[in-house]
Structure 1
Amino acid sequence: MVSLDLSVVNVGLPRIAAGLGFSPAGLTWVIHAYALTFGGLLLLGGKAADRFGRKRILLLGLAVFGAASLIGGFAQNPGHLVAARAAQGVGAAALSPAALALLTAAFPSGKPRVRAFGVWAATNAAGGALGVLIGGVLTQYAGWRWVMFVSVPMAAVALVLALRGVPADRPVAPTGRPDVLGAVLATAGMGLLVFGIVRTDRQAWTSPPTLLTLAAAVALLAAFVAVERRTSRDPLIRLALLTNRAVAGANAYNLLVGAAITATFYFASLYLQRVLGIGPAPAGVMFLPFALGVVTGSILAIKLGYRFAARSILIGGALLTAAGFAWFSRISPDGSFLTDVLGPSIVASIGFGLCLGPLVSIATAGVAPSESGTASGLLNSSRQIGASLGLAALSTAAQHQSGPLPTPAALTSGYALALLISAILLLAAAAIAATVLRRPSLTAVAEPPKAAVMAQD
């Protein structure tokens, strides 16, 4: 539901603008409002899950998400919809790390852990790809409001399943007062960072507003680090967690993969609609092979996870995805779905599926149970920041390459450059996995139940 909501609205933006009277500048906030609250509050959501109970925070997040989706579907003006999208982000920031922390606690090691994270990865990635398909079909045949309403029954079903099927967990006994100052600094810093990045579609990277916003974000995050160093009891995040090579490497890898994948979804959709002239619903259907490829890659990652270390699968997945993006960057203004999109999307999607499950396993295995929510929130944060940063940076590169005249040839040239840069980002992710993550011992590789734990040493 959370990953679907990152993409389901995109295809419906033109109809939303016409229906509610959005200005061109205001329309971007339908996307940015969700990204801003989601990315800014993830660390706080992860800490809340550890402190107050993961199941409790999961249920709260689902309720907020479902209610916000319902309200957004009935929005009567731009302000109502933007506020609803921001509330969706708040709910997502609570439920996403809580769900992942519950999964980590339920499957601490062995083959069940590999299988569980493979299923989680397939669901998560397929949700993003299917969001484009569902958004296009709903927008064209049911109306744009259904891109908001679609999450309501999903949230309701998830609430019932969580109430009946997720065991209650004990909150971590607090060792001191809540780290209010750290929470404020982290949330403000992360929020400003996302805000500064996503606004580069209107303000240049070198413009004073962008530079001031990013500088303020860096200052707030630096102040957060200073506060956490002095906070000895119940900090928002224990800084020693970031010195763990597995945690640091997994989050750096996740940031680069998130940047590349999100940008690719965006530019592939634009290529299909603005260059090839395909409508929203058919364009959405054309993302179905990508979704199926991700599921296939995730299932393959489960099989490989029984025999190989997670580090090796991450390297292979990133290289395969990079190959798919490099192939994709050869798109032509006179191309077609079959010749220019289908093959690259299958290769890249299988590689992407290989990346996800092992990544979560490395980033959370060996982390103390009292910090699993925090580690999950950190992993979600790196992906969200990567997505915002990648989309903003690659959009700038694509616009510069395309020039002022949006002809099909010029647009294709810009999109091709962005896709090639995405391939380079995936190569960098593979390099991080090869150099930062520790090589497992031969014993660890030969013993599948301990492979995920030993791989991060």
Structure 2
Amino acid sequence: MSRRAALGAGGGVVLLAALDAYVIASILIAVVRDLDVPVNRLERITPVLTGFLLGYVAAMPLLGQLSDRFGRRPLLQVCLVVFAAGSVVTAWADGVALLTAGRVVQGAAGGALLPVTMALAGDLWEERRRPLVLGAVGAAQELGIVLGPLYGLAVVWLVDDWRWIFWANVPLTAAAMVAVQLTVPGGRPERERQGVDVVGGLLLALGLGLLVGGLYNPEPEESVLPPWGVPVVAAGAVALVAFVVWEVRTRTRLLDLAGTRRRPLLATLGVSFLSGAALMATLVDVVLVAQTLLNKDSVDATLMLMWFLVALPVGAVLGGVWAWRSGERPPAAVGMAVAAVGYLLIAAWPRDPAGASYGPFPRMDVDLAVTGLGLGLVIAPVSSAVLRLVPAARHGVASAAVVVARMMGMLLGIAALSGWGFYRFHSLTADLRPPLPFLMEKEEFARALANYKAAVQDALRTEYQEIFWITAGLCVLGAFLALFLSGRDNASETSASSPGHLLTR
């Protein structure tokens, strides 16, 4: 049995889940229209965005540990079955509630596929070659960022129905299960098995669920948070603090990164978290700008993202080369700073950005390319920095921790930014009333209707502008945190660390 074939099967299932994590960006408005959600009540679709991410982040660490107990192949097969079931529910959904339930199930199953595959790589490859193999698995996850929106666009273009994206998961999952069965070794890992941190997993899921629930406001006309928002968010924060305390004290940890220095580790995870929040804001809000302000259809709106999606992997390659030559701090800090500049440029788009240009180059394309290049520069350095910090035996869990941090940023970022955005839109349009045709002459009604539509467009423009300003601020914070990433000067110190050491300053 070829271990490369096993890695290929594992990488394939990681890519399958990653595609579904990002596919929603290109089909959001199609989903909104199909489910009869009014365009001025887009807050009702927020749970569909956060549901997948919540399941993904909450389940990833715990199910990865369960594979230590029951074996890699059984966990992969169970998760693929559950992923297919969630896909069927998503494709069949006739309302936001059922669609959200399907996405949560998909996310919970998909979230396990990355850590289990990384653990499989640790089982099959010796320590010396393991970082390269883990990088290949991580590349499959990163590829989903680029291909996810394009995959959704391609399916919708071919069959003109977003539901087929999720129906297609059923045969794809069946093929993946066959590949896993034929290539992935059965049985449990040979090394000594550790316990499963069920308490830590439940505390993490509870904390994230409460935060997302507290940030979601179905009626944002009066305030940013719903009436229950403050106590629920506070309860979520308490649960996450309890999770941290538990992880420090318990012997079996959900994300065991012992043997690392605390400050650079937290800085690395912080940069990953903030880059995730910025990434999701781009994937969702740029498409919304295209469809609500520029009146583009789903195809053209996704194509508008193309320059961002192309620049992202280009930046990732450049960031990897730069980090190899000069260490992780410079490309990570510069990348977040460049992304901040990109978001400021996007926030400053004129009333008709499609007609603006920098000489012969369309302004929207250039601004999105700058933003994508900046975020791309960060991808390799944060992955490399966290591997530099931990002993080789923990490279798998460290790589998964970077992804968990980014997905948490995507989850909480889109929840908070959308909550603020929807509140601002409703506050800006609170005094607007659509004109009634039977109360005025035809020409007067036409003028009043045009003024009303222009006021709504101005409110949308202000909402998006403020979201991109906030996102730029997050990137500035990320650039600051990047200055605390590990450097080459401590590589030997890190490699000498014992896996049993506790976190030190």
Could you tell me how far apart the structure 2 residues matched to 1:281 and 1:26 are? 23
* 1:53-68 alignment runs, 5 A limit: 53-54=71-72, 56-68=74-86
Shift, 1:106, TM fit: 6.8
- Counterpart in 2 of 1:447? none
Aligned mate of 2:166, from 148, 151, 173: 148
- Counterpart in 2 of 1:134? 151
Shift, 1:303, TM fit: 3.1
1:378 matched to 2:427? The reply is no
1:8 matched to 2:23? The reply is yes
- Counterpart in 2 of 1:420? 469
Could you tell me how far apart the structure 2 residues matched to 1:315 and 1:197 are? 29
Aligned mate of 2:390, from 367, 374, 377: 367
> What letter matches 2:458 in structure 1?
A
Which stretch shifts more, 85-94 or 395-404? Answer: 395-404
For the aligned residues, what is the CA RMSD?
A: 3.7
Seen in structure 2, the aligned counterparts of structure 1 residues 10 and 316 have a Cα distance that, compared at 3 Å, is closer
Shift, 1:191, TM fit: 2.2
Seen in structure 2, the aligned counterparts of structure 1 residues 207 and 75 have a Cα distance that, compared at 3 Å, is closer
* 1:8-407 alignment runs, 5 A limit: 8-17=23-32, 19=34, 27-54=45-72, 56-75=74-93, 79-102=97-120, 113=131, 117=135, 123-139=140-156, 141-164=159-182, 170=189, 173-175=192-194, 178-199=196-217, 202=220, 204-232=223-251, 234-238=252-256, 240=258, 244-336=262-354, 339-368=362-391, 371-399=394-422, 402=425, 403-404=428-429, 407=456
Q: Contact 2:328/2:381 (CA < 8 Å) preserved in 1?
A: yes
> What letter matches 1:271 in structure 2?
V
- Counterpart in 1 of 2:450? none
Which stretch shifts more, 260-269 or 101-110? Answer: 101-110
Could you tell me how far apart the structure 1 residues matched to 2:335 and 2:68 are? 31
Could you tell me how far apart the structure 2 residues matched to 1:84 and 1:441 are? 47
Which stretch shifts more, 288-297 or 100-109? Answer: 100-109
Q: Contact 1:293/1:346 (CA < 8 Å) preserved in 2?
A: yes
Q: Contact 2:57/2:404 (CA < 8 Å) preserved in 1?
A: yes
Pairs aligned (count): 446
Q: Contact 2:46/2:415 (CA < 8 Å) preserved in 1?
A: no
Q: Contact 2:86/2:102 (CA < 8 Å) preserved in 1?
A: yes
Which stretch shifts more, 88-97 or 65-74? Answer: 65-74
Shift, 1:278, TM fit: 0.7
Seen in structure 2, the aligned counterparts of structure 1 residues 197 and 88 have a Cα distance that, compared at 3 Å, is same
Q: Contact 1:120/1:357 (CA < 8 Å) preserved in 2?
A: no
Deviations 1:298-346 (A, max 9, x none): 2223433442312332223222222222222221221217634200111
> What letter matches 1:212 in structure 2?
P
Shift, 1:396, TM fit: 4.3
Which stretch shifts more, 257-266 or 97-106? Answer: 97-106
Deviations 1:343-383 (A, max 9, x none): 01112212222211221222244535665554344333322
Q: Contact 1:21/1:78 (CA < 8 Å) preserved in 2?
A: no
Q: Contact 2:216/2:226 (CA < 8 Å) preserved in 1?
A: no
Which structure has the bigger radius of gyration? 2
For structure 2, the residue ranges without an aligned partner over 5 or more in a row are 1-15, 433-454, 497-504
Could you tell me how far apart the structure 2 residues matched to 1:108 and 1:328 are? 46
Seen in structure 2, the aligned counterparts of structure 1 residues 412 and 240 have a Cα distance that, compared at 3 Å, is same
> What letter matches 2:106 in structure 1?
Q
> What letter matches 1:99 in structure 2?
T
Q: Contact 2:59/2:109 (CA < 8 Å) preserved in 1?
A: no
Aligned mate of 1:440, from 482, 488, 501: 488
Q: Contact 2:337/2:476 (CA < 8 Å) preserved in 1?
A: yes
Shift, 1:414, TM fit: 2.3
Deviations 1:125-147 (A, max 9, x none): 44234433333453454312123
Could you tell me how far apart the structure 2 residues matched to 1:107 and 1:325 are? 41
> What letter matches 1:250 in structure 2?
T
- Counterpart in 1 of 2:11? none
Q: Contact 1:71/1:84 (CA < 8 Å) preserved in 2?
A: yes
> 3-state DSSP class of the match of 2:228?
helix
> 3-state DSSP class of the match of 2:325?
coil
Could you tell me how far apart the structure 1 residues matched to 2:260 and 2:231 are? 27
Over the matched positions of the two proteins, sequence identity in percent amounts to 27
Could you tell me how far apart the structure 1 residues matched to 2:328 and 2:126 are? 15
TM-score normalised over the length of structure 1: 0.82
Seen in structure 2, the aligned counterparts of structure 1 residues 16 and 327 have a Cα distance that, compared at 3 Å, is closer
Shift, 1:253, TM fit: 0.7
> What letter matches 1:45 in structure 2?
L
Q: Contact 1:47/1:373 (CA < 8 Å) preserved in 2?
A: no
